[in-house]
Amino acid sequence: MLRPEHTIFRAPFAVELQLEDTPSPDNFQKWQPGFPDTVRTFEVFTASGDKDEPGLVTGDGGFEDVPDAERILGGINMKGPQYAAIARHGSLVMWGFHSTPERLTDTGRRLYLNTLAYAVAHKGALVETLRLRPVRDDLDRALGIFLGLYPPERRLGMVRRHIGGEAVPPELVTDEALRARWLAERRPFLHPIDDGSNWETAYQLAVDVQARELGVANDAPAFLDAIAARLLADADDALAAALLARYVPGVAPAALRGWLREHRDALYFTEAGGWQWRVRGERATSPRLRRVGDERDGLVRLDADVSATTLTITMRIAEGWHAWSPKAVGQEPVAVAILPDSAFEVAGDLDWSDDGHGMLDGYCQIKVPIRRVAAGDRLHVAVTYTICDASTCKPPRTVELER
Amino acid sequence: MLSVALVVALQAPVLQQDPVSHGDPAEQLPLRVLYAGNADTPYTAAWLRFLGAHVDAVTFVAGRDLRARQLTGIDLLIVDGEVEAHDASGQLSLKSEHIELALDDLQGLPVVLMGGQGGFLSDTLHLKTSWHHG
């Protein structure tokens, strides 16, 4: 993956690419059948006699479905030939190579400096979509590339981990033509089976039966027009209202036609960003909450992420220390409160990853079901905990997180 | 030698031009850079020396201590650092600086995400450059 015409190879410093033919890694042909035996490369770092940390590449699936991101350069890696080591998302530029600077070649040094300049040139560029959900390409690769790499007895289970909502015929595993037909029939109407809060189903796609009933692919502009037409005929059309809420959250049925008139030329559909129709130029909303204040606890690191239905509190408790869930009798449990200035409230019982007897130690999570009670994304959370070791307990602390 | 250089790098909040050659002296970028990495490592010292030779000014902060208020007055944030750690028996584990910045802190700010620590932050923020998707 090399875009030699890209400005990052020209400015501000000319990068002379001394390209060589390097044997393609075996994995490239597994990832992309038919990939050539050699790949054009150039040296960024001189080879090291010492064992060095590996670099980093990131996958191309869904990367460029919205032009807030671009892949620029790949490299020899253990994944696929389209994976990127240099890539941009908004104003953030990834340099996936890893070594010390004295080993940069002249080419590598200029490319690195150009990478810094390229990031600066994108000051103000927004991250508009995130990588939150599986995409159709993921399913294509799972069934087209990875399935054959699994032992035969595990292939059906692998398919079922990617497709939910209906029985998967066992013949799909062995009959490639059937698999292609089966997938083609469903592809236009696929949608994640839930909001990703459940690890077991986070990567599953399923047919959205309501989208199929509408009869238009959910990523086609005609999909929105079909919803608008149904609402024009019947303002209380339940199918149209449900699809609108799912694919265009925040736009009321009565406002859809005006919203379409205003934004039609700037609309895009993002799978990775949440299987939604969005308007270009709007910044992404992060699932990660921000810590309020600068005070930190050296014994507990606390993070929070939110989906449409679940607030997940992650605690990393230092070795030798622990906290308690409500399951522990006579102990002061961790308390999670959603504060009143939030657009959400607690919607059910909390799920604790304790040891079965109420102890929380090491890496642990608290999952809080939530539901929306007001417009907007505001979420303000207070987590109060007491941690103890074998002999003593610290005074309780409260940490606030917000977005 | 490295440890002396590192002490200088960590104690001096702003490094100016480094006398050590790191390539063509004409390769200069008029940038004020904040480098967020691992504290007290030869790797960090090497990158600070290199950057000091190519940009107007480079300031260091340990990734775990990086806060949003430190992002003012800079042209570029670099997130970097080693990620591998080995215990006494040689067992490999990954170490993250656990940078706490939120996406809104970084929207529109020029940032270079280097290697695994850049990947960790990408994962946290669900950026397309994430390690999780690598």
Residue boundaries of the structural domains of chain B: 2-125
Per-residue pLDDT, B29: 97
Which run of H or E residues covers position A242?
Answer: helix A238-247
pLDDT in tens, B60-99: 999 999 999 999 999 999 999 999 888 888 888 888 999 9
pLDDT at B120 over 50: yes
Per-residue pLDDT, B6: 26
Per-residue pLDDT, B53: 96
Q: Which residues contact B36 (CB under 8 A, 6 or more apart)?
A: B60, B61, B62, B63, B66, B77, B78, B79, B80, B81, B97, B99
Mean pLDDT, rounded, for A118-134: 96
Interchain contact, B129 vs A94, CB within 8 Å: yes
pLDDT at A288 over 50: yes
pLDDT at B9 over 80: no
Enumerate residues 18 to 47 of chain B having a beta carbon within 8 A of any beta carbon in chain A.
22-23, 27, 29, 31, 33, 43, 46-47
Q: What is the pTM of this model?
A: 0.89
Which run of H or E residues covers position B112?
Answer: strand B111-114
Q: Report yes or no for ipTM above 0.95.
A: no
Q: How confident is the model at residue B130 (pLDDT cuts 50, 70, 90)?
A: confident
Per-residue pLDDT, B16: 39
Q: In order of start, what are the domains of chain A with their CATH numbers?
A: 7-121 (no CATH), 129-284 (no CATH), 290-402 (2.60.40.1250)
Per-residue pLDDT, B5: 27
- Answer left, alpha or beta for residue B115, where phi above 0 means left and psi between -120 and 50 means alpha: left
pLDDT at B132 over 60: yes
If one compares B24 and B89, the residue with the highest pLDDT of the two is B89
Q: How confident is the model at residue A199 (pLDDT cuts 50, 70, 90)?
A: confident
Q: How confident is the model at residue A49 (pLDDT cuts 50, 70, 90)?
A: low
pLDDT at A89 over 70: yes
Per-residue pLDDT, A286: 87
pLDDT in tens, A314-335: 999 999 999 999 999 999 999 9
pLDDT at A52 over 80: no
Beta bridge partner(s), residue A346: A370
Per-residue pLDDT, A85: 95
The shortest CB-CB distance from B131 to any of A56, A91, A117 is to A56
Per-residue pLDDT, B25: 67
pLDDT at B23 over 70: no
The shortest CB-CB distance from B103 to any of A13, A119, A288 is to A288
Is the Cβ–Cβ distance between A193 and A201 less than 8 Å?
A: yes
Gap between the Cα atoms of A325 and A359, Å rounded: 6
pLDDT at A264 over 80: yes
Mean pLDDT, chain B, whole residue set: 83
Mean pLDDT, rounded, for A143-159: 90
pLDDT at A390 over 70: yes
Q: Determine the residue among A44, A48, A56 to mutate to test chain B binding: the one whose Cβ has the most chain B Cβ atoms within 10 Å.
A: A56
Residues of B in contact with A120 (CB under 8 A): 29, 31, 75-76, 110
> What are the tokens at A328?
């522990």
Q: For chain A, how big is the Rg over CA atoms in Å? A: 25
Q: Which residue of chain B has the CA closest to A106? A: B23
In 3D space, the residue among A119, A124, A99 whose CA is nearest the CA of residue B31 turns out to be A119
Exposed / middle / buried, residue A43 (Cβ in 10 Å: 0-12, 13-18, 19+)? middle
pLDDT in tens, A92-122: 999 999 999 999 999 999 999 999 999 999 9
Mean pLDDT, rounded, for B117-132: 92
Is the Cβ–Cβ distance between B77 and B111 less than 8 Å?
A: yes
Q: Determine the residue among A46, A58, A295, A319 to mutate to test chain B binding: the one whose Cβ has the most chain B Cβ atoms within 10 Å.
A: A58
User: What is the number of H-type helices and E-type strands within chain B?
Assistant: 4, 6
